[in-house]
Amino acid sequence: MLSLLRTSTRRLPSAISSLLSTRTLAMAANNLKSGELSECAVLCIADLQKHFNSITTIIVTIERITHADNPTTEVIYDIKEDRTAPNDFFLIYPRGSYTGARTVHRHSIMDLSSHIDRIATSLQLMTFTPDAAASESEDVSRALAPFRDRDTLARLLVPMLKTGLRKYYEVEEKPSGEDMETKVSVVVAYSFEESRARFAAHFAPLPAPYSGRIRVEMEGEPRKLAGAKDSQWVRDRKNLELTKSPCVNEVLLSNPETGDIYEGLSSNFFAIYRGEAGTGQPATVRTAPLEYVLQGTIMKAVVAVCEREGIPIEWAFPTIGDAKKGKWEGAFVSSTSRLVLPIESIHFRDEKPSITFPNPSPVVDHIREEVRKEIVKRAYRIL
């Protein structure tokens, strides 16, 4: 098993991946407690299991075929069952706006209104032209207009999510034998080949987040259009995802000149700055200013928790230099699939010494627990 763990998940043949199961992960966790396996090994097993589930579990995709600008026409959906992973689903479609949501108690969507706002706003910020054309054509603008309007998009999206989620639960395979939450991915794109908008959703199993602390890697620079959820970013980040260590959960994006940390490839990033000794000043949560990053739905939940719990939050870049000086007591990332994951260590590809947080941060642990409650409050009933 240990020799298997040394191999990147992305190079494993499916036959080897299929040896992994939820039971394997549980056994590894027990071995970790007894000192027989390193935590890194358990993370590798978790990553392998996630990869295994993504390529062997039946998922459902649904696409609205009826033109959105013709509300009098009967709605027709194209529903398929296959084994496409969420990121691969986005890559099937031309460039567009996308979002990734999660179910809550299997019948609701976490903060659906924010996902609708995200798609509509991103489409408003994006320009769709073939090649390097200067401006968007009237035909393209007309086709995308229903999706750029928040209320119209909501009327189109909710019925599609209901239909798709029902179908997914009919064919769902449960690797663990237990009910799992569902990852719901949505894309709105424009196809110049077909001269029409493409509007689709994808439903796949969402394993429970890792329960321990994670390793992250510092590599890559900030994306260009931070305020838009542009599926081009899924293509741009793919190489960083493929080349990261199998024991690393996330890759952080930073400015190499200033050391400012922006966000993760698919997450928001937060650092906990220590309070000044002898002043009674509490620890402060610091995260990049919103004009430089994309605010995720779980990030919104984190902010709400901090405000409710009286935890100071500062919209300023955490810096690598401050971390090296010991000014942080901890850090974490947040995303739809991760919720809140505490960071144990930050690694660098140029072999610089890693930054390690020996002890868990009580502030991070408290935020993590409260966010789990917050997502239930923000759930929108679909079924």
- Residue 303: what pLDDT? 98
- Residue 213: what pLDDT? 95
Q: pLDDT of 71-80, one tens digit each?
A: 556 789 999 9
With cut-offs at 50, 70 and 90, classify the pLDDT of residue 330: very high
Do residues 286 and 314 make contact, with C-beta atoms less than 8 angstroms apart?
Answer: yes
pLDDT above 80: residue 35: no
- Residue 232: what pLDDT? 76
Do residues 57 and 82 make contact, with C-beta atoms less than 8 angstroms apart?
Answer: no
pTM for the model stands at: 0.83
- Residue 44: what pLDDT? 58
- Residue 219: what pLDDT? 84
pLDDT above 60: residue 63: yes
- Residue 289: what pLDDT? 96
Average pLDDT over residues 49-62: 60
Q: Which amino acid is at 205?
A: P
Average pLDDT over residues 158-162: 96
Classify the phi-psi angles of 111: left when phi > 0, otherwise alpha if psi is within -120 to 50, otherwise beta.
left
pLDDT above 50: residue 54: no
- Residue 10: what pLDDT? 37
**Token couple for 287:** 């995260």
- Residue 106: what pLDDT? 96
Average pLDDT over residues 194-221: 91
pLDDT above 70: residue 364: yes
Kindly state the percentage of the chain with pLDDT values over 90. Answer: 61
Inter-CA distances, 336 with 83, 99, 111, 243, 298, Å = 21, 10, 10, 22, 6
Residue with the larger pLDDT of the pair 16 and 273: 273
What lies within 8 Å, CB to CB, of 185 at 6+ separation is 86, 89, 90, 98, 99, 100, 101, 201, 202, 203, 204
Strand intervals (E) in the chain: 59-64, 77-82, 96-104, 108-110, 181-191, 196-206, 214-218, 250-254, 261-264, 268-273, 284-287, 313-315, 328-335, 339-348, 355-356, 379-381
**Token couple for 173:** 């395979």
pLDDT above 80: residue 95: yes
Query: Which of 119, 134, 136 has its CA nearest to residue 189?
Result: 119
Residue with the larger pLDDT of the pair 381 and 131: 381
- Residue 314: what pLDDT? 98
Average pLDDT over residues 208-222: 88
Worst-scoring range by mean pLDDT, 3-7, 247-251, 311-315? 3-7
Average pLDDT over residues 222-245: 75
Q: Which amino acid is at 329?
A: E
Q: Which amino acid is at 354?
A: S
Q: Which domains does the chain have, with CATH numbers?
A: 2-56 (no CATH), 59-208 (3.30.470.10), 214-380 (3.20.10.10)
